[in-house]
Amino acid sequence: MTDNVTACRVAKPDIATRLRRETRDAHCRIEAVMSDLLFTAPLDLQAYQHMLQLHRSYYELVETRLGQFQSTAAMMQERAKLSWLDSDIDYVERKTQQPVAHSGSYTSAALALPDNEALAWGFLYVFEGATLGGAHILDKLRHQPHFKGRSGLRFFHSYGPNTPMMWRGFQLSLQHFVAANPGSEKQIIHGANLSFSNMYTLMKGVQVD
Ligand code: HEM
- 145 belongs to a structural domain: yes
- 57 belongs to a structural domain: yes
Nearest CA among 200, 178, 187, 192 for reference residue 20: 192
Residue 40: per-residue pLDDT: 87
- 25-37 average pLDDT score: 96
- Whether the pLDDT of residue 103 is over 70: the answer is no
- 65 belongs to a structural domain: yes
Residue 2: per-residue pLDDT: 46
- 183-207 average pLDDT score: 93
Convert the pLDDT of each residue in 135-156 to its tens digit: 899 999 988 889 987 899 999 9
- 190 belongs to a structural domain: yes
Residue 149: per-residue pLDDT: 79
How many Å lie between the centroid of ligand 1 and the Cα of residue 152?
Answer: 20
- Whether the pLDDT of residue 63 is over 80: the answer is yes
Q: Do the Cβ atoms of 209 and 49 come closer than 8 Å?
A: no
Residue 12: per-residue pLDDT: 81
Q: How far is CA 64 from CA 13, 80, 108, 113, 173, in A?
A: 31, 10, 12, 10, 20
Total domain count for the chain? 1
Which class for 69: exposed (0-12), middle (13-18), buried (19 or more C-beta within 10 A)?
buried
Residue of higher predicted confidence among 12 and 43: 43
Nearest CA among 63, 12, 20, 21 for reference residue 182: 12
d(CA 88, CA 86): 5
Ligand 1 atom closest to the Cα of residue 35 is 1
- 164-185 average pLDDT score: 98
HSE (CB half, 13 Å, CA atoms) of 69?
20
Which class for 207: exposed (0-12), middle (13-18), buried (19 or more C-beta within 10 A)?
exposed
How many Å lie between the centroid of ligand 1 and the Cα of residue 46?
Answer: 23
DSSP string, 63-126: HHHHTTSHHHHHHHTTT--HHHHHHHHHHHHHHH--PPPP-HHHHHHH-----SHHHHHHHHHH
Give the CATH number of the domain where residue 117 resides. Answer: 1.20.910.10
For residue 148, list its beta bridge partners. Answer: 151
Q: Do the Cβ atoms of 44 and 208 come closer than 8 Å?
A: yes
Residue 98: per-residue pLDDT: 77
pTM of the predicted structure, to 2 decimals: 0.92
- 2 belongs to a structural domain: no
Task: Confirm or reject: Cβ of 20 under 6 Å from ligand 1.
Answer: yes
- 194-208 average pLDDT score: 86
Task: Confirm or reject: Cβ of 31 under 6 Å from ligand 1.
Answer: yes
- Whether the pLDDT of residue 20 is over 80: the answer is yes
Q: Do the Cβ atoms of 33 and 203 come closer than 8 Å?
A: yes
- Among residues of the chain, what percentage have pLDDT more than 90? 76
- 110 belongs to a structural domain: yes
Task: Confirm or reject: Cβ of 24 under 6 Å from ligand 1.
Answer: no
Task: Confirm or reject: Cβ of 126 under 6 Å from ligand 1.
Answer: yes
- 170-196 average pLDDT score: 98
Ligand 1 atom closest to the Cα of residue 136 is 5
Res. 1 pLDDT band, cuts 50 70 90: very low
- 9 belongs to a structural domain: no
Residue of higher predicted confidence among 4 and 29: 29
Q: What range defines the domain where residue 38 resides?
A: 16-204
- 7 belongs to a structural domain: no
Instruction: Name the average pLDDT for the chain.
Output: 90
- 157-186 average pLDDT score: 98
Residue 99: per-residue pLDDT: 74
